[in-house]
Structure 1
Amino acid sequence: MEYRERVVDGLLARHLVDSAVVVLEGPRGAGASRAAGRVAARTWRLDIDDYARQFVDMAPHLLLEPGGAPGPVLFDEWQEIPRTLARVLSSVDAAPGQVLLAGSETPTEADELLASGAVARVQIRPMSLWESGHSTGAVSLAALFAGNDVDLTAPAPTLDPHQLFERMVVGGWPGLEGLGETKARRWLREYLLILVRDDFPTRGVRRTPDDLRRFLGVLAAGVGTEQKLSAVARDLAAATSTRTPRAETVAEYLTVLRRLLLLEDVPAWTPQLTSAAALRRTPRRFFVDPSFGLAALGLSSAALRRNLTAAAQHFEGLVLRDLRTYADPLGGVVHHLRDNNGRTVDFVVVLPDGSWGGVAVRMNPAGIDDAAKELLWLAGRVDVSVTGQHPAAFMLVVTGAGLVEVRDDGVLVAPVASLRP
């Protein structure tokens, strides 16, 4: 299959210039191995290569010769061998671009090193609509932060609502390109089967595969919400007809999904506002790709057409996936905002220098007016007199279809299939 350029390619190139060791993390099937392999001079597969598995444990320096070609040495699926990261770090000097590690899990024993700044970390997610060729790219996130005008003459996206639902169900998994929805759903069912039959049990979770499937369904039904652990536990008990599990047990399940890079919380943004209402600090919970939650619920694109409430809920996950991908080159982090009076802004993209932009998500264009009011409320409440706080760089409503336009109140409206980095 021909390689599609990924946003992460530029991030890898940038970090390999600055760092001796770069870690590329992403869920199984997101394309980490292929993206890393394109820039590697030599690749060691720690999941299947017995020679490499032996020497990375005993003498990792013997594996660090690039083999004549320029580029780093890649240790693929590095999490398969304990302490790989520590051993590699002890075997390199400060020269940049020596080692690249790609993996589909964040091992517990590497947490301290990964958080220490000793390595550069890069995240890869399933492909955004821009990467898969389904976005016109008329609206650039980087250009919005730079204050550049949007080209309002760009043609409307050709992705119609039916195709949009299909993209949500199929997801951005590179291996599913061109397979169609039926085959994609079969692949995702197999992914879920491996997860509940193998991944959870090998990480100490002792529940039946059927119970774990129901757990994933409970999470999927509440995707995008601020579900408390106790609420997940109650819903799981109702779904399995068993006693309510402890909140600590649910937390253990969630930890497994996070370590497998399948679950990404959206942290709350807590700027200083001129409003007296307190801001909530509870994160919102999303899967790394909307297809995962839809597979857990068994929903097809036809089912989404019959259930527009569910469609809108998981559409928000699609927008989030793409926003995170487009924000990564800027060092941006996607947050959400909610106050105790019930005021909400779906997403807020915040850059390292404090610049920010508000994003409201409305699959149905009929909700644009209300979304614009939410964004204007936030833009008027952030206290710019506080050191380090900036006015909004942009206010954006992301829709499922339509044209790119700037409203009279300054709010930009753009379909998700018009966005790019």
Structure 2
Amino acid sequence: MDNTEKIYRNRITDSALELKLEAFGATLIVGPKGCGKTTTAKHYANSYIEFQDEDTREGLLSVAENMPSKLLIGDKPRLFDEWQDAPKIWGAIRKSVDDSGLKGQYILTGSSSQKVETAHTGTLRISTLRMFPMSLYESGESSGTVSLMDLFEGKDIEWEESKLTIDDLIYAICRGGWPQSIDVENREAALSIASDLFYQTCHTDISNISHVKRNPLWAERLIRSYSRNICTLAETKTIFSDTSQATGISKPTFYDYFHDLEDLYIIDELPAWCPAIRSKEAIRSGNKRNLVDPSIAVAALGLSPDYFNTDFKTLGFLFESLCIRDLKIYSSGMNGEVSYYHDRYGLEADAVLHLKDGRYALIEFKLGSKEIDMGAEHLCEIERLIGEYNKKEKQVPLRLPDLKLVITATEYGYKREDGVYVIPIGCLKN
């Protein structure tokens, strides 16, 4: 029997969790199933209760139902994994935090496939922390030689080289950032994890989250249709029409399924950045369609890495989804947020990374080197329009972008003469 202790992979979420433990009495970690919530929580906990442990489950649930405060006894921080199985623990933790006034006492994690109504919100006592699957930097596939924070701080790059080939990126997109798959040497086995997550989402979790029996084939069709529109501004009616033609699903039921998938953290859309640099009417303000990890789209569409040898168009959308996932993870470690810009004239920035201090980066994602010039031109044109806007609106000027980035699947990173940085995703970190 192998008793070797499993090595903990550091997560960008770690620093955010440490901050939460300093500021609040308890922290609830949320995110899609399989993203590593429990592993991270156990790394920081000094004691824990696992309600899913069948050897002790019945006794623990009995205590939790009749005297939940007894379960709070233990070294702090104390973790309650799958806390939703014993919902009274929420109120007990809230009261304990109120009574003691101490910080960093409790961590809660739970399957995102269950929603529980609690008597109290936990506001200012129990803070929520969002986790994602792993970024390429966390999985060890990005070298991390280019730091977004360093770029914001004014550090230039001269020449960077990514060791990730296009085949490596295709595999990373298909496998996803699920911690369970990262160290699996057998690639077929690693790829099967995203497929199983897609299956479980449609056949089990979507019914559990709503406490309503859902049709798994309808859920599969919805995610498949959604995946065909990933990283586009497709209207909801387009996805509904595609899904309903295949299933006959009604519009209200479609929206129920859609919101269930949001509650499961499977659908994870990108909001619009809407500066009126032309006019309010010119801005596309709908959400950009995206999933929490591109591997779900690959699984839903029934694709394999070999498929992309002949379809770079689909690969381009999935590459953008991968980049958005990584940017959301990196921004969480920088106290930032990610959105996108697009107007009806076709001018776009695939992503806009805003920091809380007002600094921001305009970003385009380009799979190949031939598209870099066009992406850079878009970013420079947005910057020019903001400058023109500021000449007219001197009382409330818009900040010029602090960074202009084209993130690519190519090999080399450098700074262009127009000030745009070309950064391979295989070099990037927070």
- Give TM-score scaled by structure 2 length: 0.90
Provide structure 1 residue ranges, at least 5 long, that are not aligned to the other structure.
Answer: none
Alpha-carbon distance between aligned partners in 2 of 1:112 and 1:235, rounded to the nearest angstrom: 40
Aligned partner of 2:63 among 40, 55, 63: 55
Corresponding position of 1:184: 190
User: Are 1:107 and 2:115 an aligned pair?
Assistant: yes
How do 1:19-418 and structure 2 match up within 5 A? 19-48=24-53, 49-67=57-75, 71-82=76-87, 84-93=89-98, 94-105=101-112, 107=115, 109=117, 113=121, 116-150=123-157, 152-154=158-160, 156-179=161-184, 180-202=186-208, 203-204=210-211, 206-238=213-245, 240=246, 242-243=247-248, 245-246=250-251, 248-273=252-277, 278-382=282-386, 383=389, 385=394, 387=396, 389-418=398-427
Alpha-carbon distance between aligned partners in 2 of 1:169 and 1:344, rounded to the nearest angstrom: 27
Kindly indicate whether the alpha-carbon contact (under 8 Å) linking 2:143 and 2:428 is maintained by their aligned counterparts in 1.
Answer: yes
Kindly indicate whether the alpha-carbon contact (under 8 Å) linking 1:334 and 1:349 is maintained by their aligned counterparts in 2.
Answer: yes
Kindly indicate whether the alpha-carbon contact (under 8 Å) linking 1:229 and 1:251 is maintained by their aligned counterparts in 2.
Answer: no
List, as ranges, runs of 4+ consecutive aligned residues in structure 1 with deviation greater than 6 Å: none
Report SS of the residue matched to 1:167: helix
Q: CA deviation at 1:143?
A: 1.4
Alpha-carbon distance between aligned partners in 1 of 2:219 and 2:356, rounded to the nearest angstrom: 38
Kindly indicate whether the alpha-carbon contact (under 8 Å) linking 2:341 and 2:350 is maintained by their aligned counterparts in 1.
Answer: yes
Q: CA deviation at 1:111?
A: 11
Q: For residue 200 of structure 2, what is the amino acid of its counterpart?
A: I
Kindly indicate whether the alpha-carbon contact (under 8 Å) linking 2:372 and 2:406 is maintained by their aligned counterparts in 1.
Answer: yes
User: Are 1:419 and 2:420 an aligned pair?
Assistant: no
Q: In 2 relative to 1, CA 259–57 (structure 1 residues): closer, same or farther, beyond 3 Å?
A: farther
Alpha-carbon distance between aligned partners in 2 of 1:46 and 1:103, rounded to the nearest angstrom: 10
Report SS of the residue matched to 2:422: strand
Alpha-carbon distance between aligned partners in 1 of 2:223 and 2:236, rounded to the nearest angstrom: 14
Corresponding position of 2:22: 17
Q: CA deviation at 1:199?
A: 1.5
Q: For residue 16 of structure 2, what is the amino acid of its counterpart?
A: L
Q: CA deviation at 1:206?
A: 4.7
- 1:26-81 CA distance string (max 9 Å, x none): 211111100000110111123343333333343332222233xxx41111122333
Report SS of the residue matched to 1:392: coil
- 1:242-268 CA distance string (max 9 Å, x none): 43521x322211211121112211111
Q: In 2 relative to 1, CA 225–112 (structure 1 residues): closer, same or farther, beyond 3 Å?
A: farther
Q: In 2 relative to 1, CA 87–112 (structure 1 residues): closer, same or farther, beyond 3 Å?
A: closer
Q: Say which is worse superposed, 180-189 or 316-325, in terms of deviation.
A: 180-189
Kindly indicate whether the alpha-carbon contact (under 8 Å) linking 2:69 and 2:89 is maintained by their aligned counterparts in 1.
Answer: no
Alpha-carbon distance between aligned partners in 1 of 2:420 and 2:37, rounded to the nearest angstrom: 36
